[in-house]
Structure 1
Amino acid sequence: MDRSPTAAASGIEAFIRDLPKVELHVHLEGSMRPATLIELAARHRVEGIPGTPEEIRDWYEFRDFPHFIDVYLASVAALRDEEDFALLTADVAATLAAQNVRYAELHVSLYGHLMRGIPARVVFDGIEHARREAEREHGIRLRWIPDFPGDYGVEAGAETLEAVLRDGPDSVIGFGVGGIEVSRAPFADLFGRARAAGLHSLPHAGENGGAERVREALDLLRAERIGHGIDSLQDDRLVARLRDDRIPVDVSPTSNLRTRAVEAIGEHPLPRMMEAGLLVTLNSDDPPMFGTDLLNEYRTAHTLGLGTAELAELARNGVAASYLEESAKRELIGEIDACPAPM
């Protein structure tokens, strides 16, 4: 049997490739391929967007998190009509399916479109058309989490929620808040309304705003999952609460590196979060913008010291933390358990 480093590397690569996966923290708009962004920007004559893939890659070198948000909002401006949203969704679905992602819950930056005068119905009609096609063509199942940037205030959140309640399809399963990480306290009533309407509370918290943002998300927004949450490790009592209450934490290592939430990938707290017993899921966040994808996040987790057992645990955690029906969860976890690890 070949036990050379090359064979071991190819073995782990095959394991990561073949492992059935879900993705729970990935942004639809942040998943736009550079070629698609360039095509749409040219079609709609959008200024300020680079015109070549090389220039796009340079544009995606982020100084800090606010700079990333500026670039993100600039790229969103290339999405104008139903066909644009359908094209984006079809691209994203095919890319996910090629990584053996079976199910994904995607954040949709709905307020970023509403603020530009794009009706919610245009957004939903486009992404729903492509979602149905993707399920037929690739077998991947997609669900939506509309969100708004917290730094735009309660009014932005209220406009977003009203649009979701008025026009959102049944495939909308949650409501979120992202953007620059301001206090979550002002959004307590808003998330109460969302929960009363049957939407799951899925906010970003603890990406770069400290452990207090995670506590606010839990206490005031009744968060069912925490988006990012790496700052939770600043507070031992919070870590114990997340562990004991089995609150999932959706972690995206490369994203945290590229937005300077961590200084070096070797410093990422993913292994410590798993050692602490947290229900951690692995995700890609805004993959083309960060030069990654979900396969690469599993490779990164492996370079951080996680073996095949831990990688399979991350995959099972994603299934457990998802809003798939229980029968589908059992089936998918069975496939994960049956995925052969390299010898």
Structure 2
Amino acid sequence: MDNPSVPRAAVERFIQDLPKVELHVHLEGSMRPPVFLRLAEKHGVPGLPRSPEEVAAYYEFRDFAHFIEIYIASVRVLRDEEDFALLTADVAERLAAQNVRYAELHISLYNHLVRGIPASVVFAGVEHGRREAERAHGIGLRWIPDFPGDYGVEAGERTLDAVLADGPPSVVGFGVGGMEVDRTPFRGVYDRARAAGLHSLPHAGETGGPQSVWTAVELLGAERIGHGIDSVKDPRLVDLLCERRIPLDVSPTSNVCTRAVADIVEHPLPRMLKTGLTVTLNSDDPPMFGTDLVNEYRTAHALGLDLADLALLAGNGVAASYLDAAAKRELTAEIESVLAAALDPR
């Protein structure tokens, strides 16, 4: 992590060439302004921005609670199967343009169910978009339906019921997000999800302190943690996460935009790597935060990470994903090859 001097152009080329996976990105939070505006106009949704400039102002968040408020308001533009297919195709195209080969996307399923949109409509739309994306761009997409924790256990149970009834085989896990309330009440719903073969992939340790990560690991059986940046505040927790090799899906720009971290220079990403934590790099809600995965790699480099560190983050993403073993080997070898070429002095 010495970050020796490397020409900016060489760093940029390396980041672009690096094969990537993304494990913490929200489908609805990846809606670009043109798609947002198109769907808002299509459905005549009131109270939303009507121009790119208004969208930019709309996405200036006061704090995490304000971000959640805007996020929930924004998903109202998604109404039918065609909308979800359009969004999925657009998101996949943007990911593929960044050399992202595979992504596991959170779907805010409860926010659609509570608006009267059946899970069958949501899944039919995203599956159509997924299949088209795989044909057009060769990118693999998988789904992590989730619910907002601040809506309570009933929201979790209703979301899981919908996933078990209508979820396609491309659903790999079950998530909880929203305001970071105590995760203890969700033990039962997570027991049921895991018994059904879904991986436990909760948000924790973003704004709720280390205890929320402890709860996610010990009671929810978390296999990966969404964010988890507060983990470094507890050495015992760091030891546990390292011992069990539980990955933390970190999104630096998101943490600054939601005020979970005051300034990017204060972000704990470098310290997390130094402690031996398994960290993956992600964009979370890229258009809302004015970023994308390529930019997150640039940000990580600016925080002092060298090319080997960036390759480590990419490799961690592959290892932490639910890709099959052969695909993991292939992508890992390609990451190593790109790094070797970048470090070759010839």
Alignment partner, residue 103 of structure 2: 104
Alignment partner, residue 50 of structure 2: 51
Alignment partner, residue 24 of structure 1: 23
Superposed displacement of residue 285, structure 1: 0.1
Alignment partner, residue 326 of structure 2: 327
Superposed displacement of residue 294, structure 1: 0.1
How many angstroms apart in 1 are the aligned matches of 2:56 and 2:243?
Answer: 42
AA in 1 matched with 2:111:
G
Alignment partner, residue 188 of structure 2: 189
Superposed displacement of residue 266, structure 1: 0.4
Alignment partner, residue 207 of structure 1: 206
Superposed displacement of residue 48, structure 1: 1.4
AA in 1 matched with 2:171:
V
AA in 1 matched with 2:229:
I
AA in 2 matched with 1:124:
F
Alignment partner, residue 264 of structure 1: 263
Alignment partner, residue 81 of structure 2: 82
Alignment partner, residue 342 of structure 2: 341
Where does the alignment leave 5 or more consecutive residues of structure 1 unmatched?
none
Per-residue displacement from partner, 1:228-249 (whole Å, max 9, x unpaired)? Answer: 0000111000001101110000
How many angstroms apart in 2 are the aligned matches of 1:231 and 1:49?
Answer: 34
How many angstroms apart in 2 are the aligned matches of 1:241 and 1:273?
Answer: 13
Superposed displacement of residue 329, structure 1: 0.1
Per-residue displacement from partner, 1:251-281 (whole Å, max 9, x unpaired)? Answer: 0000000000001000000000000000000
Alignment partner, residue 37 of structure 1: 36
Alignment partner, residue 233 of structure 1: 232
CA RMSD of aligned residues (A): 0.8
Q: Secondary structure at the match of 1:266?
A: helix
How many angstroms apart in 2 are the aligned matches of 1:184 and 1:69?
Answer: 18
How many angstroms apart in 1 are the aligned matches of 2:48 and 2:9?
Answer: 38
Alignment partner, residue 10 of structure 2: 11
How many angstroms apart in 1 are the aligned matches of 2:329 and 2:129?
Answer: 27
1:273 maps onto 2:272 in alignment? yes
Per-residue displacement from partner, 1:294-326 (whole Å, max 9, x unpaired)? Answer: 000000000000000000000000000000011
How many angstroms apart in 2 are the aligned matches of 1:262 and 1:119?
Answer: 36
Alignment partner, residue 160 of structure 1: 159
Alignment partner, residue 289 of structure 1: 288
AA in 1 matched with 2:259:
R
How many angstroms apart in 1 are the aligned matches of 2:100 and 2:285?
Answer: 16
1:223 maps onto 2:222 in alignment? yes
Alignment partner, residue 127 of structure 2: 128
How many angstroms apart in 1 are the aligned matches of 2:199 and 2:131?
Answer: 22
AA in 2 matched with 1:228:
H
AA in 2 matched with 1:321:
A
How many angstroms apart in 1 are the aligned matches of 2:321 and 2:277?
Answer: 15
How many angstroms apart in 2 are the aligned matches of 1:65 and 1:103?
Answer: 28
Q: Secondary structure at the match of 1:182?
A: coil
AA in 1 matched with 2:268:
P
How many angstroms apart in 2 are the aligned matches of 1:48 and 1:123?
Answer: 23
How many angstroms apart in 2 are the aligned matches of 1:42 and 1:277?
Answer: 48
How many angstroms apart in 1 are the aligned matches of 2:47 and 2:255?
Answer: 25
1:248 maps onto 2:247 in alignment? yes
How many angstroms apart in 2 are the aligned matches of 1:48 and 1:101?
Answer: 34
AA in 2 matched with 1:275:
K
Alignment partner, residue 299 of structure 2: 300
Percent of aligned positions that are identical: 70
AA in 1 matched with 2:185:
P
Q: TM-score, normalised by structure 2?
A: 0.97
Q: Secondary structure at the match of 1:77?
A: helix
Alignment partner, residue 316 of structure 1: 315
Where does the alignment leave 5 or more consecutive residues of structure 2 unmatched?
none
1:142 maps onto 2:141 in alignment? yes
Per-residue displacement from partner, 1:78-119 (whole Å, max 9, x unpaired)? Answer: 000000000000000000000000000000000000000000
AA in 2 matched with 1:296:
N
How many angstroms apart in 1 are the aligned matches of 2:63 and 2:47?
Answer: 19
Q: Secondary structure at the match of 2:141?
A: strand
